[in-house]
Amino acid sequence: MQESSRPRALWGSRIGFILAAAGSAVGLGNIWKFPYITGNNGGGAFVLVYLVCIALVGLPIMIAELMIGRHTQRDAVGAFISLAGRRSPWQLAGWVSILAAFVILSYYSVVAGWTLDYILRALQGTFTAAAGTDAGQTAEHITALFGGLIENGSRQLIWHCIFISLCLGIVIGGVQKGIERWSKILMPVLLGLLILLFVNGMLSDGARQAIAFMFRPDFHKLTSGAVLEALGHAFFTLSLGMAAMITYGSYLSRKDDLFGSGLRIALLDTGIALMAGLAIFPIVFSAGMQPGAGPGLVFQTIPVVFSSLPGGNILALLFFLLLAFAALTSAISLLESQVAYLIDERGWGRKRATVCLASLAFVVGIPSALSSNVLRQVTPIADLGVFDSIDLIASNYLLPISGLLTALYVGWFWSGQEEKGELLAGGSGWIYPTWHFLIRFVAPVAVGAILYYKIEETGLFTLIKNLF
C-alpha cells in the first residue's frame, strides 16, 4: 500500500465523525426529495419499501464504503488502486464515484442557493399573512415567487456562488478544524429546528391524516417504478456511490466500530427523513392541499401554507434554515471527496485543491442555474428540465454503477479475512456473515436491477435529447 509522507488527517472524536457523516447523509434528499417522492408515490407502502431498502441494501453498502476507506486510508480512487492494483479496472468504481460527486455538487448547490433566497425572503417578512388581502391572492403571490426565482438566472447565480463559497470556507479548514467542527455546530441546530417543526406539525389539525398517509400502507398504490425509486433514493440519501463515505471512512481510526457507526448514521438519516415528512404533511393536509405536488412541494406548497398561518413567517424562516444547513453539511462532503483525491493522489495542498474544485463546481453549475429559466418556457414549473437530466444521469446511472462495482468488489473479490478484520477491530465481527450475504447477493442484484430498468426506461437517446 502506498503511504503518503504526510500523517493522515483523522476525526477528533467518534461523535464528530458520526455527525459529519450523518451531515453528509441528511440533505436536500431527506427534507426536499423524500417528502415529495413519498407524496407522488402514494405514501405508506412506499415508505415501507424505502425502509427495507435502507436496511438490506443501503446499510450494507455504507459499511462496505466505510470499510474500504478506513482500510486503505485513501480517497475513493486511491482506495481502489491500493486494494486492487494500479492497472486494475476496479478503480473505475472510484472514478465514477468522484465524477458523480462532481456533477451532483454543481446542481446541488443551485438548489441549495434557492434555500438561501427563501431565508432572505423570510427575513424580509415575505411569508407573513398580509392583513386585508384574501388567501387566494397571497397564495398566488407566493407561488409566483418560485417561478420568478427560477426565471432569474443572475439571482440564482449569486446564491449558487455564495453557497459554494460557504462550502469552500468550511472544507479549506481541513477534517477536524473545518468539517468536524462545523458539523458539530450545524447538526445539533438542524435537529433542534426539525424538532420544533415536527412538534408544530404534530399539533396541527392535519397530524392524523399525515400519520395515516405516511404509515398506513396501501399496496395497490405501489408500482414497480415506485420500488425502484425507493431503492434509488435509499442510495442517494445515504450518500452512497459518491465517494463521500469512502472518504469520510478514510479519516477513521483503526479502532472504530464500523457497523455501530454505520447503523447510527443510517438511523439518524432515516429518522430525520421521517420527521421531515411528519413536519411537512400535517400542515399540507390542514391547509387542504395535496401531498403529491412534486419538486415544488417544498418551494411552493409549503411557503403558501406558511403564509396563511399566524407566525408563519417565523416557521418559514426556521424551515429554510433547516434546509440550508442540511444542504451545506452534504455539499461539503461532496467537495471533500474531490479535494481528498487531489491531496492523496496528486500531492496538492488542501488550500489549492479546495479553491480550484470549488471554482470548478461553480462554473459547471452555471448551466443548471441558467437553464431552468430557458426551459421553463416550454416545461411546467414542476419539471426542472436540465436539472432533471443531470439528476437523472447522476442518480440513475453514476451512483448505481459505482455502487454495483463496489458491492461486487467487496462481496466477491476482496479478501474475507481483511473485511472480517475491519469489523472485528471495532468489536462487531458477529455481523460479518449477515453483512457478507447482503453485500454478496442482495445488494448487487438490487442495484443491478435499478441500473437495468433505468437504462431501459430512459434510454441514452432521450437523455441526450433532454440535455440539448
* Structure-block grid coordinates of residue 120: 432572505
Q: How far is the CB of 332 from ligand PHE (least distance, A)?
A: 9
- Which of 16, 23, 27, 206 forms a contact with ligand PHE (CB under 6 A)? 27
Q: Which of left, alpha, beta for 82 (phi over 0: left; psi -120 to 50: alpha)? A: alpha
Q: Which amino acid is at 201?
A: G
Q: Which amino acid is at 79?
A: A
DSSP labels, 158-199 = HHHHHHHHHHHHHHTT-IIIIIIHHHHHHHHHHHHHHHHHHH
339 lines the binding site for ligand PHE (CB under 6 A): no
Residues 6 or more apart whose CB falls under 8 angstroms from that of 242 comprise 97, 100, 101, 104, 334, 337, 399, 402
Q: How far is the CB of 288 from ligand PHE (least distance, A)?
A: 29
- Which of 17, 19, 23, 24 forms a contact with ligand PHE (CB under 6 A)? 24
Using the minimum distance from each CB to ligand PHE, give the nearer residue, 29 or 385: 29
**CA-closest candidate to residue 274, choices 8, 32, 35:** 35
Residues 6 or more apart whose CB falls under 8 angstroms from that of 92 comprise 80, 405
301 lines the binding site for ligand PHE (CB under 6 A): no
Q: How far is the CB of 322 from ligand PHE (least distance, A)?
A: 13
Q: Quick one: which segment of 139-147, 211-219, 238-246, 365-373 binds ligand PHE (CB under 6 A)?
A: 238-246
Q: How far is the CB of 131 from ligand PHE (least distance, A)?
A: 38
28 lines the binding site for ligand PHE (CB under 6 A): yes
Scanning the structure block, which residue is given the C-alpha cell 466500530?
Answer: 257
330 lines the binding site for ligand PHE (CB under 6 A): yes
239 lines the binding site for ligand PHE (CB under 6 A): yes
- Which of 72, 73, 307, 333 forms a contact with ligand PHE (CB under 6 A)? 333
237 lines the binding site for ligand PHE (CB under 6 A): yes
**CA-closest candidate to residue 339, choices 326, 352, 325:** 352
Q: What is the spatial distance between Cα 52 and Cα 270, in angstroms, rounded to a whole number? A: 11
186 lines the binding site for ligand PHE (CB under 6 A): no
- Which of 25, 62, 66, 398 forms a contact with ligand PHE (CB under 6 A)? 25
- Summarize as ranges the residues that interact with ligand PHE (CB under 6 A): 24-25, 27-30, 236-237, 239, 242, 244, 330, 333-334
